[in-house]
Amino acid sequence: MDGNGDALHNKVKESIIQLIKSGEYTPHTQLPTEAEFCEKFGVSRTTVRTALGQLTLEGYVYRKQGKGTFVSGQKVKQVLTTTANNFSEQLTNQGKSPTIKVIGLTVIQSDEFMDEIFTLQKGDPVNRLERIRYADNEPLQYEISYLPWKKTPGLDAKECEKSLYRLLNQQFGLKIKRTIEYLELCIADKEIADKLKVKVGAPCFSLITYAYLEDGSPIEYSKTVFRGDKANFVIERHY
């Protein structure tokens, strides 16, 4: 390989990612040493070290002190194009054990932001639901959902440890017709780091969701933060 330093470590990183995705380097097996990578790619140790550092940060590999670098388990695939297959079904289909834990369910007063979303009067009650979703007992995503209390009175915390949209349909007769979602990169602050068991500054995905009922009225606003080292996303388009 040739070119400038930035281009070189990116090429090395992408090459290793492809070797992982192709199955040549399988989950939880040890990678070649830095010296072996230097020889394989014809680059300096600094270039290899930088590439491995980025792969560690992005969750493709992990390091064991005094033992070397190993391939991480496969990331959890999240399908963004449908709400039909809920969180539990998506993870079960990937051979992982899903759990959802409610860490808070309170009724708060609506503010200007909520007033505008849900067409409420200032001070109207709003359900605030905090949950953490786990894959094989590891935290994968942290979410806060807001729902107008007048449409969702008596929301049960235990029942929210299953599919929220299914619960809204069964308990209140509220069927989600469509969602609008905004996905962007973010980094973990101390609160997110504590919730997801990552380091402050770790790369994450932030997903803002607006959910609407069949009559077009909004029923939920939520913000979900996904661990960047544990999640990836698939978008399927039909033409």
Using one digit for the tens of pLDDT, what is the confidence trace for 86-144?
555 555 555 667 789 999 999 999 998 899 899 999 899 999 999 999 988 889 999 99
Contact (CB, 8 A) for 26 and 1:
no
Give mean pLDDT, residues 57-84.
Answer: 73
The CATH superfamily of 76-234 is Chorismate lyase-like (3.40.1410.10)
Contact (CB, 8 A) for 74 and 90:
no
Contact (CB, 8 A) for 153 and 147:
no
DSSP H helical ranges for the chain: 5-21, 34-41, 45-57, 87-93, 112-118, 164-172, 190-196
CATH class belonging to 5-71: mainly alpha
pLDDT in tens, 167-192: 999 999 999 999 988 888 899 999 99
Domain extents in the chain? 5-71, 76-234
Pairing relationship of beta strands 76-79 and 231-234 according to DSSP bridges: parallel
pTM of the model: 0.67
pLDDT in tens, 16-55: 988 988 888 998 899 999 999 999 999 999 999 999 988 8
